[in-house]
């Protein structure tokens, strides 16, 4: 089969890395890819947002199957456009992708089908939102309604912080059109986990759970990012809890979307808070997480391409996913200044030395090749990923890889996996 992976981040590098192992994959393309992906796939210079360009390339190259990484391409309807010209694709339709494209749509689905989540209200006017905040007595979470690259969520410890969050999102337009409306939610207390399931429209099978580290600095301090590290599995999700999540959250959601006329296909990424009252949905994402995808791909022992194809073809009943019992742990190396302003073009050395470490893989995110060297080309740049018999062993090996990389313009958190290690 000819396969096209859409995207240029660490998630897409991990997907390419896993798909390339499949005997079903005869030729692998990536649009646009990155310096790491170029080692295993043919990169084509088409932006992931260029829907018509991707469809044209897939048609002219006679691509058999397209795997879509980023959420904005899914929300924009790339799957629908590919299906319309007879090309199979992994991911939900534009209508089903509203589950991530509109937090209000997502929360309304949860409320309608009695799926546990935080209490919430939606607002289109900043003054009305502030009046609501004034009447509240508890801590709050303020969220931009639309897509904000994982950064549109502000945790507010008091009313003044909540007022400032409204200004930041709706008046200062920090997230552009994503902030045309906001959700204000109760502040849930517990342990946050990322749970993944594959869905073929009617059926779902669990993949695995992971734990992300959103804050930019050690100890969960600083601004939220797209993710500074992850590990899988997490001891927070037992087999019993996994079944509870499938029965009370994933399955009702899938049935609800069928009832709404937008059956879901693809990977369903559920951000959960494990509270004293049980797991509650923080948010749904309609694609693999980044960096969670990297640790999932490092652990999966089944044919990934076969599983993704089964989602598109409605054949998940034939799939049984096998996982390594080892822990995968990833440390993100980011450009100094991220998630704020950062420069591009700094040279990265030592990648070969890191790759030579046993059971360690360096997934590229924001990289490109310039004059035969690898240079930084984004905020989150590398995902140093290790396997170990325990979280502690994987942690030590991943940081051995980090230390082998010579990149003075980069930084990283030193405490990835601390909850499980503790």
Residues in the chain: 422
The full set of domains in the chain, from first to last, is 2-94 (3.40.50.20), 119-186 (3.30.1490.20), 191-318 (3.30.470.20), 327-421 (3.90.600.10)
Task: Determine the pLDDT at residue 318.
Answer: 86
Strand-pairing partners, residue 225, are none
Task: Determine the pLDDT at residue 419.
Answer: 86
Task: Determine the pLDDT at residue 152.
Answer: 85
Cβ atoms 90, 293 nearer than 8 A: no
| DSSP output for 303-350 | -HHHHHHHHHHT-GGG----B-SSEEEEEEEEETTTTS------EEB-
Distance from C-alpha of 301 to C-alpha of 387, rounded to nearest angstrom: 13
Q: What are phi and psi of 416, to 5 degrees?
A: -65, 130
As a whole number of Å, the end-to-end CA separation of the chain is 45
Task: Determine the pLDDT at residue 350.
Answer: 97
Cβ atoms 306, 19 nearer than 8 A: no
The dihedral over CA atoms of 10, 299, 397, 360, expressed in degrees to the nearest 10, equals: -60
**What helix, strand, coil percent values describe the chain, rounded to 5?**
35, 30, 35
Mean pLDDT by 10 residues, the chain (422 residues): 98 98 98 97 97 98 98 97 98 97 92 93 93 90 85 88 94 91 91 95 94 94 92 94 97 97 97 94 95 98 97 94 97 96 96 96 97 96 98 97 98 94 84
């Amino acid at each position: 089969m000819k396969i096209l992976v859409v995207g240029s981040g660490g998630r897409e590098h991990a997907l390419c890395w896993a798909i390339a192992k499949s005997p079903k994959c005869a030729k692998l393309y990536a649009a646009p890819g990155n310096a790491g992906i170029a080692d295993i796939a043919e990169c084509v210079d088409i932006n992931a947002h260029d829907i018509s360009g991707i469809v044209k390339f897939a048609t002219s190259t006679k691509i058999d199957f397209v795997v879509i990484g980023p959420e904005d391409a899914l929300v924009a309807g790339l799957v629908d456009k590919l299906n319309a010209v007879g090309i199979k694709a992994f991911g939900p339709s534009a209508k089903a992708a509203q589950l991530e494209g509109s937090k209000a749509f997502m929360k309304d689905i949860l409320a309608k089908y009695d799926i546990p989540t935080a209490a919430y209200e939606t607002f289109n006017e900043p003054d009305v939102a502030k009046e609501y905040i004034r009447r509240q007595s508890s801590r709050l979470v303020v969220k931009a309604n639309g897509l904000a690259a994982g950064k549109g969520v502000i945790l507010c410890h008091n009313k003044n912080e909540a007022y400032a969050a409204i200004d930041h999102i709706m008046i200062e337009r920090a997230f552009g059109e994503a902030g045309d409306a906001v959700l204000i939610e109760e502040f849930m207390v517990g342990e946050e986990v990322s749970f993944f399931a594959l869905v073929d429209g009617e059926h779902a099978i669990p993949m695995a759970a992971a734990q992300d580290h959103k804050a930019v600095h050690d100890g969960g301090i600083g601004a939220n990012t797209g993710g500074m590290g992850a590990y899988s599995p997490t001891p927070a999700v037992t087999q019993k809890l996994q079944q509870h999540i499938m029965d009370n959250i994933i399955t009702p959601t899938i049935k609800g979307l069928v009832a709404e006329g937008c059956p879901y296909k693809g990977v369903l990424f559920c951000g959960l808070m494990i509270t004293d009252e049980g797991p509650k949905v923080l948010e749904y994402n309609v694609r693999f997480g980044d960096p969670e995808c990297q640790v999932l791909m490092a652990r999966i022992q089944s044919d990934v391409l076969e599983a993704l194809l089964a989602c598109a073809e409605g054949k998940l009943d034939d799939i049984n996913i096998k996982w390594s019992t080892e822990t995968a742990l990833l440390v993100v190396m980011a450009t100094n200044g991220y998630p704020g302003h950062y420069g591009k073009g700094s040279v990265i050395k030592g990648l070969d030395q890191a790759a030579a470490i046993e059971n360690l893989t360096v997934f590229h995110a924001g990289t490109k090749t310039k004059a035969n060297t690898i240079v930084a080309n984004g905020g989150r740049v590398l995902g140093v990923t290790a396997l170990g018999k325990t979280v502690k062993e994987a942690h030590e090996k991943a940081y051995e890889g980090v230390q082998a990389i010579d990149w003075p313009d980069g930084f990283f958190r030193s405490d990835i996996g601390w909850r499980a290690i503790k």
